[in-house]
Structure 1
Amino acid sequence: MPKAAPLSENALVQIVDEATAICAVPAPTFAESQRAALVQELLAAAGLAAQIDAAGNVVARVGGDGPALALVAHLDTVFPDLTTIPIVRNGVRLTGPGIGDNALGIAAMVYVARELAQTPPSRPVLFAASVGEEGLGDLSGVTALLDAEQIRALIAVEGHGIDCLAVGGVASMRLRAEFSGPGGHSWSDRGRGSAIHALIEAGERALAAAPPAAFNIGVIEGGTTVNAIAQSATMVIDIRHGDPRIVDAARVRVERALATALPGDVSVEVTLVGNRPGGSNRPNDPLLEAARAARTAVGLGIADEIFASTDANAAFARDIPAVGIGITRGDFAHREDEWIAVPPIALGVASLLELVRRLD
């Protein structure tokens, strides 16, 4: 196959402008509808009949009916606020919460949709801007998509990670541990069990019990005021590893650690609130071969092949070939000062389009 054509400067400007516009529209997990409406408009302007499905995903198709190659870019961000998000351009950088994760991924997907609308593929391609990828969304959008559609392969499009290919999925479990105690006055009832104190001590035990799985306490809530013994306290825990069996075993140890050595008047209830599957492709799956070749064709170097946590996880769990593709370089994902570099976007999007062409 001949060397892929580079993106034009006008195409790059359009992608950056659309990524900026997408990022400015807030999309917390479970509240993605404003951003979904914008993406539906962009896909419609590209000439596709885009619909919002029952789960809240924006879905469009080219190339007719039948099992499709799915390009999936998630709509949601980790930021809970519903106010407009400011994006700052400083030379070759764009800075703003969610600009790389995943406003740029959506803009790249829209660009490929626009190209395929003009020169349709011979086999079906499905475009989906998915809900519920982040946090406790638990891959709800892509799971609903896989339930509803026949998918022959899936590409998860992310803004960050141009130097990597996600060839496997990191499994994760999310637990909510709720501690309850009698409460009371910090002086006159001193000695009573505190739900917050119990949480802190249990968190230390759980942290020590989790390895070799990765362990993170992402949220802690509890108490009412400084001079009251806390009646209740909650933490939300994330346990991860590339091997789902290690995650399962770590969950058992963590739950045991949370319930061990509590004060007699404090109790804990642990609930599973998220279970993101892991998995991987066969080492020489044609999808991976095509992804490697697409990078070479546009002038990108050999990628680090990694396990990651993306919408591709849901496909791995169903033995559907999948890969995660990044569009540029950047840093500080899941922080308000997240940034991406503009120049590599041209190669990242060209590689994505080339991969789609090779899979036709």
Structure 2
Amino acid sequence: MLLVANAGEEGLGNLKGSRQIVKEYEGRIREFYSIDGYMDHITTDAVGSRRYEVEVLTEGGHSFTNFGNRNAIAYLASMIDTLYTLKVPQTKTKTTYNVGTIQGGTSVNTIAQQAKMLYEFRSDSREDLEFMDQHFRAVAESYRSKQVEVNTVLVGERPCSSGVDPVKQDRITSKVTEILKKHTGTEPKNQCGSTDCNIPLSQGIPSVCFGAVRGGGAHTRQEWVDIDSLKEGYRVTFELILSCF
């Protein structure tokens, strides 16, 4: 058994910790568990994603003297609006997109020469991820045709599940479900998600991500956790560890 406290799961970390674990122990990992999130759900299927930094550059200038020159912020805003008109694939899977940050300009009386954003799209279907990527590239190219410089950099890529033995996956999923149910009194919901398990799941390794705390409001400034629930979380975690012997 290997117990690891790793880094890089959130944001632009691109699962670098999980990638390194799977790389160093290639061919030797039978099962993979990630302790992350709340105890009311478990994640057993990987949601893949691609993340791009998008930069728009124009000539800019003084807001009065050079009025009429192209504004990078205006073009970036227009590009965002275009991206948000897309209807995601209507399949059995779930596909989403999001602009997470924007920045640019230098002052109130300056026509912005530069503006940036971070854009991502996600899906538990590799085919739908490719569809989203093609749409994104087409939008970027359409703005380049307006004689605006558009630079795109892939800053994160997370894979979907691939080739996992369903019998082995069901076995560890049932084990974690029963342990959580035993110590919390409720059965956790089974869902797909983007976690450290993406990497092993993409390489056919049975994997489950589960939480060890009660809480809510994830990814907001109002996120909270119930400190007392850590006692339940400890019991869940330790029983899972002992079950492996």
TM over 0.5: yes
Q: 1:87-133 CA distances to partner (integer Å, 9 max, x unpaired)?
A: xxxxxxxxxxxxxxxxxxxxxxxxxxxxxxxxxxxxxx111111111
Q: Distance in 1 between matches of 2:153 and 2:87?
A: 17
2:107 aligned counterpart, secondary structure: coil
Map 1:142-181 → 2, pairs under 5 A: 142-149=18-25, 150-158=28-36, 160-181=37-58
1:188 to partner: Cα distance: 1.9
- CA distance, structure 2, for counterparts of residue 330 and residue 172 of structure 1: 25
Matches within 5 A, 1:266-285: 266-279=148-161, 281-284=164-167, 285=169
Check if 1:253 corresponds to 2:135.
yes
Q: Residue 301 of structure 1 corresponds to which residue in structure 2?
A: 186
* Corresponding residue number in structure 2 for 1:138: 14
* Structure number with higher relative contact order (C-alpha < 8 Å, ≥ 6 residues apart): 2
**Cα deviation 1:233-270 (Å, max 9, x = unaligned):** 11110111121221221011022123325684422122
For 2:176 and 2:147, the matched residues in 1 are separated by: 57
CA RMSD of aligned residues (A): 1.9
* 1:23-42 per-position Cα deviation (integer Å, ceiling 9, x unaligned): xxxxxxxxxxxxxxxxxxxx
Alpha-carbon shift at residue 296 of structure 1 (Å):
3.9
Q: How far does residue 282 in structure 1 lie from its aligned partner after superposition? A: 4.5
- What is the DSSP-based 3-state SS (H/G/I as helix, E as strand, rest coil) of the residue aligned with 1:344? helix
Q: 1:187 aligns with which of 58, 61, 64?
A: 64
Number of residue-to-residue matches in the alignment: 235
Q: CA deviation at 1:210?
A: 6.0
Bigger mean CA deviation after superposition, 339-348 or 241-250: 339-348
Question: How many angstroms apart in 2 are the aligned matches of 1:332 and 1:256?
Answer: 35
**How far did 1:299 drift?**
5.1
1:288 to 167, 173, 176: 173
Cα distance in 2 for partners of 1:247, 1:355 equals 34
How much identity, in percent, do the aligned residues show?
A: 28
On the 8 A contact 1:193/1:265 being kept in 2, the answer is no
Offset of residue 298 of structure 1: 3.0
CA contact (8 A) 1:325 1:352 kept: no
Counterpart position of 1:196: 73
Structure 2 residue matching 1:274: 3-state secondary structure? strand
Distance 2:155 2:99 in 1: 14
Residue aligned with 1:197, SS: helix
Aligned to 2:92: none
* Residue segments in structure 1 that go unaligned for 5+ positions in a row: 1-124
Over residues 270-289 of structure 1, what are the superposed CA-to-partner deviations in whole Å (9 max), with x where a residue is unaligned? Answer: 22111011217544422112
> Per-residue CA shift, 1:154-191, capped at 9, x if unaligned?
11101x32011111111111011111111111122122
Other-structure match for 2:122: 240
For residue 335 of structure 1, report the CA deviation from its aligned partner.
3.4
Gaps spanning 5+ residues in structure 2: where?
90-94
Higher mean C-alpha displacement, 135-144 vs 276-285: 276-285
TM-score by length of 2: 0.88
Q: Deviations over 1:22-73 (max 9, x none)?
A: xxxxxxxxxxxxxxxxxxxxxxxxxxxxxxxxxxxxxxxxxxxxxxxxxxxx
Q: Which deviates more from structure 2 when the two are superposed, residues 179-188 or residues 198-207? A: 179-188
**Matched residue SS, 1:152:** coil
Contact 2:12/2:155, CA 8 A, preserved across alignment: yes
Contact 1:205/1:258 (8 A) holds in 2: no
Q: Distance in 2 between matches of 1:220 and 1:144?
A: 30
